[in-house]
Amino acid sequence: MRIHLSTSWCVLAGLALYMVACGVDDPTAASDEAASVTSDEGSALTAADGMTVNCGVLGTGCQTPVLSANSVGHSIAWGVSSGASGNGCSWRVRDVDTNVVVGSGRVGAFSTGSGVIHGLFGRYRNECFSCLTGAACLLRD
């Protein structure tokens, strides 16, 4: 059996590894406390802190599923990759309950970016826009 992975999913895997290597994501820091993750359709999942959600761009943008902020550190780690398209990618992390943008920026062509937004208590999504197919976004609580 052969498994084919799209470029954007391979980019996401590389971005997740990059975040770990750069200390953005500390896999030893996960706790046993539960966080709520809600999809666009409204179905709720229960997961321990350390959950990652992502989206791959097919067209010009995408939105990650909704993710609650980390219940201990009250933060969200974000990551963006513009992929191999030769175009940059804009991103914004939005509080889905208040519609407030809590972080935003743009990565250049053939680039990745990541960081952590602190002081968060709500539910968030990463919205990528002005990108091309192959770009990818993620959030980690």
Give domain status of residue 14, yes or no.
Answer: yes
Give domain status of residue 19, yes or no.
Answer: yes
By C-alpha distance, which of 36, 133, 124 is closest to 77? 124
Q: How many domains does the chain have?
A: 1
| Segments forming the whole domain that contains residue 118 | 7-25+35-140
pLDDT attached to residue 84: 87
pLDDT attached to residue 126: 96
pLDDT in tens, 84-132: 878 999 999 999 999 999 999 999 999 999 999 999 999 999 999 999 9
Distance (Å, rounded) from C-alpha 94 to C-alpha 91? 10
Distance (Å, rounded) from C-alpha 67 to C-alpha 8? 20
Give domain status of residue 30, yes or no.
Answer: no
Give domain status of residue 11, yes or no.
Answer: yes
pLDDT attached to residue 50: 80
pLDDT in tens, 33-60: 222 333 333 333 334 568 899 899 988 9
- Tokens 């509080």 belong to 95
Give domain status of residue 70, yes or no.
Answer: yes
80: domain CATH number is 2.60.120.380
Residue at 15: amino acid letter: L
